[in-house]
Amino acid sequence: MKDNKIIKYIICVVVAIIAMIFLNFVLDSYKVRVLNLCFIYIILGLSMNLINGFTGLFSLGHAGFMAIGAYTVAILTMTPEMKEMNYYMKPMVSFLQQINMPFIVALIIGGLLAALFGFLIGAPVLKLTDDYLAIATLGFSEIIRVVIINLQSVTNGALGLKGIPQKTNQFFVKLLRDIFGISLSHSINLLWAGIGAIITIVFMFLLMKGSYGKAFKAIREDEIAARSMGVNLFKHKVMSFTIGSFLAGIGGGLLAVSLGTIDPTLFKFSLTWNIILIVVLGGMGNINGTIISAIVVTIAMEALRFLDEPLNLGFIQTPALPGLRMVVFSIILMTVIIFKKDNVLKSTLVKVRGRYAKN
């Protein structure tokens, strides 16, 4: 009975991976990119939901942890020649200049560094009361940005990094060529983000099924009761926060590869806001909801891209309004929050609908 279930899950995962390879062949590169973003936002949404939704902490630092992951991956995977081209204002410190690692190693290092920072920020703050966590994490993610801008010989400052290697699956490409005789013009871009998303989803389900996940939820429900039942609040909060930071770093690293170009402006608060949007829409503490809303938000974000461009409404021509997309999204978010919280509004709406339906 139980073994059957596990086999079912394994089959699901295998099918998903095969589907990804297949999609990578049939979809055009734009669609692959959007799908890739969906996977990345699933990871990011779940990581924030672990901290904010499941454990009831209030962290606003996702962009900072993502920046750490993204810059780590970029710096560790770019070739020395690429780096030389990028760092024309100020040369890179030479030992970093020479480093060139396989993508997956760099990604894991990026995640671990983000986790380390998560621990270093979380530990002092969470020891007090987590009201300060929001402020501390918000401050941290701004500080990280300022550090990145000023640490020019490491991060190339405000110029950003271009030409981050996107062919991250040389191993698979070789495997396919040598064993199946299939040669690919472009790499299997989806695979890492897809595997990352699957691992994150499975990880979250298993974590929440177990005793630690339930202790996280207990902390969210009632801290005083949780600690009186012997749950070490500090230890559990730090665990949740550090794991969440790790996953945020992984998401950031994958994002860097998917974009190919990063710079400090990418990691402003609006990036954290996107993820908050996903978590709130999907439901605090809801894994399935987060997966769905990550996909919906990512696709909608692409589909509504026209809002940022000059609009021709027939009778009026508006100039380009960069940011209009986010305004629309924020309005959607607020509406959702109001409707979720305020049942009065909901029931009024039902009544109004009922009246019009009758007449």
Please say whether the dihedral angle defined by the alpha carbons of residues 85, 91, 95 and 101, taken in this order, is positive or negative. Answer: negative
Q: Applying CB under 8 A, which of residues 162, 227, 268, 340 lies at the interface with other proteins?
A: 227
Q: Applying CB under 8 A, which of residues 81, 84, 221, 342 lies at the interface with other proteins?
A: 221
Number of residues that bind other proteins (CB under 8 A): 25
Nearest to 24 by CA among 162, 163, 167: 167
- Contacts of other proteins in 187-206 (CB under 8 A): 203, 206
Q: Applying CB under 8 A, which of residues 37, 207, 256, 280 lies at the interface with other proteins?
A: 207
Joined tokens for residue 131: 């009201």
Phi (first) and psi of residue 86, to 5 degrees: -70, -45
Q: Is 119 in the site for other proteins (CB under 8 A)?
A: no
Q: Is 46 in the site for other proteins (CB under 8 A)?
A: no
Q: Is 129 in the site for other proteins (CB under 8 A)?
A: no
Q: Is 228 in the site for other proteins (CB under 8 A)?
A: yes
Question: Among the candidate windows 32-40, 133-141, 220-228, 267-275, which touches other proteins by CB under 8 A?
Answer: 220-228
Contact 165, 103 (CB under 8 A): yes
Please say whether the dihedral angle defined by the alpha carbons of residues 333, 302, 257 and 142, taken in this order, is positive or negative. Answer: negative
Question: Per-residue x/- marks for other proteins, 148-187, CB under 8 A?
Answer: ----------------------------------------
Q: Applying CB under 8 A, which of residues 44, 74, 197, 239 lies at the interface with other proteins?
A: 239
Question: Among the candidate windows 9-17, 226-234, 323-331, 337-345, which touches other proteins by CB under 8 A?
Answer: 226-234
Residue 106 one-letter amino acid: A
Contact 245, 82 (CB under 8 A): no
DSSP state of 15: H
| Helix 190-209 with 287-303: angle, nearest 10 deg | 150
Across the chain, how many H-helices and E-strands are there? 17, 4
Contact footprint for other proteins (CB under 8 A): 203, 206-207, 210-215, 217-218, 221-222, 224-233, 239, 243
